[in-house]
């Protein structure tokens, strides 16, 4: 029987804009084109795990306009445990210009996360979400990966300290790492730091994992794809460095298209992995 990963956090509608440039305060710019996609960090990871042949369960809030997204997730093989809300589903507004990105996030229905009670899980990935929900999931899960992401600012020191102490793996980028270290000690923890085009870092043993070369069309969701690939490899029995290399490989596919949920078949991932890193036994 496949092991199920419960992914907790946002499901959102992503609005991706290509703009001429990022304007200064009180100035405007032109929107060159835009697209709407299914997104949200937790939903991206859960969809990726399912697409790569794993088993995932998404625990999130469904807004009043979530019906089509819910049907889409069912088609993708993602099991859903939903809290219903009369508010609109969360939105991410992402502006890309010259390789630089700015994002604005509207919580909407995700504000209901504060009242979610948590569910028992063997394997749990806590994506960006409300701190109180993160605490409840830590209390009810046996193996936990935690990433505060853009919601780090919502965590006070004591809550962040409890979660990072209990978590088995912590994911963050460089900015989040610096912010967390100002609040809590992370020495000795399995912290995986994503570095964008420079790859990722296993901070515990200072091991650098290179990015997999790809023609980047849209970097949105690369980190979520990395985590989906990481989880699949972890549950197949790979060691942490191989899991990170697998994550980097999956991320290289997602950046090649607009949107966050364009995942290849597992066999395709293995092929690119082996071209980049050498052969690996597919457990």
State the residue for tokens 């504060």: 114
* Residue 6 contacts residue 46 (beta carbons within 8 Å): no
Task: Check residue 204 and report its DSSP letter.
Answer: T
How far apart, in whole angstroms, are the C-alpha atoms of residue 136 and residue 145? 14
Q: What is the 3-state secondary structure (H, E, C) of 99-121?
A: CEEEEEEECHHHHHHHHCCCCCE
Among residues 14, 65, 224, 282, which one is catalytic?
224
Tokens for 13? 């509608």
Q: Residue 93: which of 12, 151, 154 has the closest Cα?
A: 12
Q: Note if 218 is an active site residue.
A: no
Residues that are catalytic = 224
């Amino acid at each position: 029987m496949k092991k199920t990963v419960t992914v907790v956090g946002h499901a959102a509608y992503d609005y991706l804009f290509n703009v001429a440039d990022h304007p200064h305060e009180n100035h405007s710019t032109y929107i060159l084109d835009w697209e709407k996609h299914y997104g949200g960090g937790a939903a991206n990871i859960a969809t990726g795990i399912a697409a790569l042949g794993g088993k995932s369960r998404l625990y999130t809030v469904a807004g009043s306009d979530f019906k089509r997204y819910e049907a889409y997730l069912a088609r993708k093989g993602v099991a859903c445990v939903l809290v219903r809300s009369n508010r609109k589903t969360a939105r991410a507004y992402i502006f890309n210009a010259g390789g630089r990105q700015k994002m604005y996030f509207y919580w909407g229905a995700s504000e209901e996360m504060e009242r979610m009670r948590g569910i028992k899980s063997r394997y749990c990935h806590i994506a960006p979400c409300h701190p109180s929900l993160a605490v409840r999931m830590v209390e009810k899960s046996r193996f936990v990966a935690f990433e505060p992401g853009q919601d780090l600012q919502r965590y006070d020191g004591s809550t962040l300290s409890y979660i990072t102490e209990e978590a088995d793996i912590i994911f963050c980028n460089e900015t989040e790492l610096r912010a967390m270290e100002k609040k809590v000690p992370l020495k000795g923890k399995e912290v995986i730091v994503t570095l964008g085009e420079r790859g990722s870092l296993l901070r515990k043993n200072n091991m650098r994992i290179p990015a997999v070369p790809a023609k980047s069309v849209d970097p949105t969701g690369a980190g979520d794809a990395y985590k989906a690939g990481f989880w699949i490899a972890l549950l197949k029995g790979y060691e942490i460095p191989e899991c990170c290399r697998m994550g980097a490989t999956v991320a290289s596919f997602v950046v090649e298209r607009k949107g966050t949920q364009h995942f290849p078949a597992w066999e395709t991932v293995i092929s690119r992995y082996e071209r980049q890193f050498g052969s690996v036994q597919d457990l």
